[in-house]
């Protein structure tokens, strides 16, 4: 391999879904200070907001995440535009 171009901190990391708690062990260079256990061994732990375990594309369930009434604001603007 060519020296100096490959990541130095490439290791196995647990990615944990914040919503479901599902864990996936993947090789990564992501920085994290947390530790977790996966199948009896300790690895670095990185928490993610959404993964294939909770993403609507993979689950087939559509969910609406409404932050600060964004969906309502959009619907009001859409209704106002239709009336014009």
- The count of residues in the chain is 84
Is 55 within the bounds of a domain?
yes
Helix (H, G, I), strand (E, B) or coil at 40: coil
Which two three-digit tokens encode residue 10? 């490439």
Answer whether 40's CB lies under 8 Å from 25's CB: no
* 61-78 pLDDT, tens digit each: 766 666 667 778 888 888
Is 6 within the bounds of a domain?
no
Q: What pTM value is reported for the model?
A: 0.62
Looking at the structure of the chain, the number of domains it has is 1
Is 1 within the bounds of a domain?
no
Beta strand segments in the chain, E: 11-17, 23-28, 34-38, 41-48
Owning domain of residue 78: 11-83
What pLDDT band is residue 48 in, cutting at 50, 70 and 90?
confident
What pLDDT band is residue 7 in, cutting at 50, 70 and 90?
confident
Answer whether 47's CB lies under 8 Å from 34's CB: yes
Average pLDDT, the chain: 83
């Amino acid at each position: 391999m060519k020296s100096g171009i490959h990541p130095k901190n490439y290791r196995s990391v647990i990615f944990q879904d914040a919503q479901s708690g599902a864990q996936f062990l993947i090789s990564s260079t992501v920085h994290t200070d947390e530790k977790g256990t996966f199948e009896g061994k300790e690895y670095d732990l990185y928490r993610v907001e959404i993964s294939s375990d909770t993403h609507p594309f993979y689950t087939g369930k559509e969910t609406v995440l409404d932050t600060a009434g964004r969906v309502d604001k959009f619907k009001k603007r859409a209704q106002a535009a239709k009336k014009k």
